[in-house]
Amino acid sequence: MNKSKYSLGEECAVFGFFNRGEKDVGQLAYQSLFSMQHRGQDGAGLAGAVGNEVRHHKNIGLVNEVFTKQILDEYANDEILIGHVRYATSSSVTVLDTQPLVMHGYEGFIAMAHNGHIVNGNEIRRELQKNGVLFQTNVDSEALMHIIAGNRDGIEEGIKDLIKRVRGSYALTLMCPGKLIGVRDPWGIRPLCLGRLGDSYVLASESCAFNAIGAVFVRDIKPGEIVIITSSGISSIETPPMERTALCVFEYVYFARNDSVIDGVNVYQSRIRMGRHLCKTAPVEADIVSGVPESAIPAAIGYANESGITYGQCLIKNAYSGRTFIQEGQMNREQSVRMKLCAIHENVENKRIVLVDDSIVRGTNSMYIVKMLRNAGAKEIHMRIASPPVKFACRFGIDTPSRKNLVGAYLDTEEIASRIGADSLAYLGIEDLIAAVGNKNLGLCCACFDGKYPMPID
């Protein structure tokens, strides 16, 4: 079961490893993918190569369900690996649509893992089909593979062609005989970074994947950059980035893990700053500040530190709620929230609570969380949201509902507060959010808040 359909969901994580002397690299890949499980829970896969031979394994499920020790042992001595965890958005959840994708090109095999979404994917698919290309999956990633594999001048030229033709978000890890390649779209919407483990090199969507295996963070891949890793070392092809780069700001608000660093910004510290800014613009008298687990907790700590109000845990998350045998479609929304969260009565009863959350999408989760705290005896509940109202659907790989289902698109703040049952509600403004991220030179996509997409949207 993927993340709650009443909240936002990320679309994937990618991984790559060029082995220069490490042992048991299948386990290293497993640990890295496991550390990025928060980015996708619908499927996982690995592809590994020795010389011109490639093997791959993928399936529906969590990383620890897809890979057994026996499977990982098959990759123990591979020279190159790439991996993927998937969050399905529009496509169905099938083994065929999981990644990495593998096909043959003019240089031999090509394997690819993709995080993102292609805005002009249907247009590109039609163009390729007119030229006789047959598609085997429902994912837009396959169109990218065909562009690359179909280029007679080699994989690097195929990637350059892709960058010219494709509008959308993509962080890619690819491998072909003797090469591991990382690619980031010229807008820089999706993150990708480079690490090092001994003499080996690692690519990953988040630097937390390096922490999991003891690798050292080297740098972020630049927007529009193609990084090529071979036995001779690293080379880079820098295609021109767009005039406006646009890293998804929700990486800092919600998606990325607290211990990751993205484009020079520590995710945890950015969330602390969000909470501090939120307190400055929306203070309130209260007895306790708390956060909705997990991503809102740093913002709640920041709010508490700025306000001088004691921070305390009012909600506890079921550690095993990420995947259950009962699908969410078989239970009502309130049951779904109760399975994931429980109130700590001793910290709630007769208290005025500032409850910090990272975002409100439909408002459904917030409504039932407020109700849960009321039932536990809360005297007052003041919701504080560490991001602006979500008013527009994402077109770059985030699983947002249609605009008609985004409560921030058609209700004002007071109306939303009334709907969810809070005594008050306040959001962090866009300018304060950008300031909290803390990198003045970093272009951010805030289109889900302001509707200003960094490229034409079909």
User: Token pair of 282, please?
Assistant: 């929306």
Low-confidence ranges of the chain (pLDDT < 70): 1-11, 89-92, 321-333, 401, 458
Q: Which pLDDT does position 322 carry in this prediction? A: 55
Q: Which pLDDT does position 377 carry in this prediction? A: 98
225 vs 160: CA distance, rounded Å: 10
Give the residue extent of every domain in the chain. Answer: 12-245, 269-440
Q: Which pLDDT does position 2 carry in this prediction? A: 36
Q: For residue 210, give every residue at least 6 positions away whose Cβ sits within 8 Å of its Cβ, in sequence order, or none.
A: 32, 193, 195, 197, 202, 204, 216, 217
Q: Which pLDDT does position 89 carry in this prediction? A: 57
Helix 267-281 vs helix 297-307: crossing angle, to nearest 10: 50
Q: Which pLDDT does position 9 carry in this prediction? A: 53
Neighbours of 331 (CB within 10 A): 14
Degrees, nearest 5: CA angle 223-225-231: 145
Q: Which pLDDT does position 440 carry in this prediction? A: 84
Q: CATH assignment of 12-245? A: 3.60.20.10
The catalytic site residues sit at 12
Q: Which pLDDT does position 345 carry in this prediction? A: 97
Q: For residue 134, give every residue at least 6 positions away whose Cβ sits within 8 Å of its Cβ, in sequence order, or none.
A: none
Q: Which pLDDT does position 242 carry in this prediction? A: 87
The closest alpha carbon to 279, from 251, 313, 257, 311, belongs to: 311
The 3-state secondary structure of the chain reads: CCCCCCCCCCCEEEEEEECCCCCCHHHHHHHHHHHCHHHCCCEEEEEEEECCEEEEEEEECCHHHHCCHHHHHCCCCCCEEEEEEECCCCCCCCCCCCCCEEEEECCEEEEEEEEEEECCHHHHHHHHHHCCCCCCCCCCHHHHHHHHHCCCCCHHHHHHHHHHHCCEEEEEEEEECCEEEEEECCCCCCCCEEEEECCEEEEECCCHHHHHHCCEEEEECCCCEEEEEECCEEEEEECCCCCCCCEECHHHHHHCCCCCEECCEEHHHHHHHHHHHHHHHCCCCCCEEEECCCCCHHHHHHHHHHHCCCECCCEEECCCCCCCCCCHHHCCHHHHHHHHEEECHHHHCCCEEEEEECCCCCCHHHHHHHHHHHHCCCCEEEEEECCCCCCCCCCCCCCCCCHHHCHHHHCCHHHHHHHHCCCEEEECCHHHHHHHHCCCCCCEECHHHHCCCCCCCC
Q: CATH assignment of 269-440? A: 3.40.50.2020
Half-sphere exposure of 123 (CA within 13 A, CB side): 9
Q: How far is CA 159 from CA 146, 156, 181, 252, in A?
A: 11, 5, 10, 28
**Global pTM?**
0.93
Contact 15, 173 (CB under 8 A): yes
Contact 247, 115 (CB under 8 A): no
